């Protein structure tokens, strides 16, 4: 029988209610380069950070944090993640040769990354204007000095006010500061309906990052996401051809949250003085990555193009 996913009361938590929630104490390693705080396999004394590739000697510190209640287990296995890495690299123009080697033999880490989810029922009161287009005829003088007539579109604006409601379920906020947010967000969608209760056994063979974005900050981020959706709802409610929103006052009810772990395959590599990351959603196989360019390959391609252009010009002039 599937476990029913339970939400925690957000207002109570923000008011200090987290003190009664289960916590977990782990030995974590803090990367001096990117700041990631993650666990390492038992008995490992030296390693490199899976998020930025920086080598370090493991100096573990005991930390206590809110225990994740739910997670999604790994579905995509390592070899499939590596195959997707190779396919992604082969699709890139002007990629360094080293990147292709890393895709075939380089290290890829399986990491459980922390996220927050938020639910809310919102009511928003707004004021604004509805714009409706209409056409008028106007006269003008053309270049020949003759009077012409043309149609011109103008907009009639009418003040409006109203109230809209919108429900939100599982607004997802990454609790890691170690991943590029735009790439972490692009790994969606996640099949959150398949969440299972957290058990330590799921972490066997994988790393896990401790959350760095605290609950209050994550909630503010979630409210920003909700606000964008609410503005779209308001625009539909205003109607017309154009909409202007002057004020919005939103109240939140039935706010709840979860602290969860989501599985990601990650390969980090340094090229020049910059760190690049390749990410795979370990549930769906969705791929996101940052890529370096080989300026040698680009220079050779430009040189080859110039040679071809010069040859074509020579052939044309020699006729």
Inter-CA distances, 74 with 101, 125, 180, Å? 25, 43, 21
Q: Which of 122-131, 221-230, 261-270 has the lowest mean pLDDT?
A: 261-270
- Whether residue 143 is predicted with pLDDT greater than 70 in this model: the reply is yes
Mean pLDDT of the chain: 83
* Residues across the chain: 319
Say if residues 149 and 139 touch (Cβ distance below 8 Å).
Answer: yes
Task: Report the distance separating Cα 122 and Cα 251, nearest Å.
Answer: 6
- How much is the pLDDT for 212? 86
- How much is the pLDDT for 46? 46
Q: By C-alpha distance, which of 116, 3, 10, 31 is closest to 65?
A: 116
68 burial class (0-12, 13-18, 19+ CB within 10 angstroms)? buried
Q: Where are the beta strands (DSSP E) in the chain?
A: 8-9, 23-30, 37-38, 46-48, 55-57, 61-66, 70-71, 109-141, 147-174, 196-197, 207-208, 242-271, 274-281, 287-289
CA atoms within 13 A on the CB side of 181: 8
- How much is the pLDDT for 225? 96
Task: Report the distance separating Cα 268 and Cα 112, nearest Å.
Answer: 15
pTM recorded for the entire structure: 0.78
Provide the pairing of β-strand 147-174 with 207-208.
Answer: unpaired
Highest mean pLDDT among 19-28, 125-134, 142-151: 125-134
Question: What residue has token string 């906020």?
Answer: 173
Lookup: tokens for 23: 């916590």
- Beta-bridge mates of residue 268: 277
Summarised one tens digit per residue, pLDDT across range 242-289 is 999 999 999 999 999 999 999 999 987 766 677 778 889 999 999 887
DSSP string over 101-156: HHHHHS--EEEEEEEEEEEEEEEEEEEEEEEEEEEEEEEEE-TTS-EEEEEEEEEE
Q: By C-alpha distance, which of 227, 262, 223 is closest to 118?
A: 223
Average confidence (pLDDT) over 55-59? 55
Residue 204 in 3-state DSSP? coil
- Whether residue 25 is predicted with pLDDT greater than 60 in this model: the reply is no
Summarised one tens digit per residue, pLDDT across range 63-114 is 556 788 999 999 999 999 988 888 877 776 766 666 666 655 668 889 999 9
CA pseudo-torsion sign 197, 286, 30, 176: negative
**Confidence band of 307 (pLDDT split at 50, 70, 90):** confident
Percent of the chain with pLDDT over 70: 75
Average confidence (pLDDT) over 117-140? 96
């Amino acid at each position: 029988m599937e476990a029913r996913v339970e939400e925690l009361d957000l207002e109570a938590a923000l008011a200090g209610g987290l003190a009664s929630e289960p916590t977990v104490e782990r030995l974590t390693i803090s990367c001096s380069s990117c700041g990631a705080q993650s666990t390492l396999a038992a008995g490992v004394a030296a390693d490199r950070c899976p998020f930025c590739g920086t080598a370090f000697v493991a100096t573990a510190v005991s930390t206590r944090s809110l225990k994740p209640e739910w997670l999604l287990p790994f579905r995509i296995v390592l070899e499939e993640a590596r195959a997707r890495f190779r396919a992604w690299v082969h699709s890139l123009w002007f990629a360094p040769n080293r990147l292709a080697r890393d895709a075939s033999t380089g290290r890829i880490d399986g990491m459980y990354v922390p996220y927050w989810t938020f639910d809310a029922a919102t009511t928003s009161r707004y004021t604004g204007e509805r714009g409706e287009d209409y056409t008028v005829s106007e006269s003008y003088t053309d270049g020949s000095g003759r009077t012409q007539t043309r149609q011109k579109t103008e907009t009639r604006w009418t003040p409006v006010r109203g109230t809209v409601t919108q429900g939100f379920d599982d607004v997802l906020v990454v609790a890691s500061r170690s991943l590029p947010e735009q790439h972490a967000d692009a790994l969606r969608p996640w099949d959150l309906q398949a969440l299972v209760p957290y058990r330590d056994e799921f972490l066997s063979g994988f790393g896990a990052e401790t959350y760095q974005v605290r609950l209050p900050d994550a909630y503010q981020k979630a409210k920003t996401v909700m606000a964008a959706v609410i503005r779209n709802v308001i625009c539909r409610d205003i109607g017309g051809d154009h909409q202007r929103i002057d004020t919005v006052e939103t109240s939140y009810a039935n706010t709840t949250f979860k602290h969860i772990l989501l599985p990601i395959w990650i390969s980090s590599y340094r090229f020049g003085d910059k760190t690049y990351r390749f990410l795979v959603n370990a549930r769906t196989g969705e791929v996101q990555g940052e890529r370096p360019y080989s300026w040698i390959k680009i220079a050779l391609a430009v040189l080859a193009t110039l040679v071809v252009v010069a040859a074509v010009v020579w052939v044309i002039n020699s006729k």
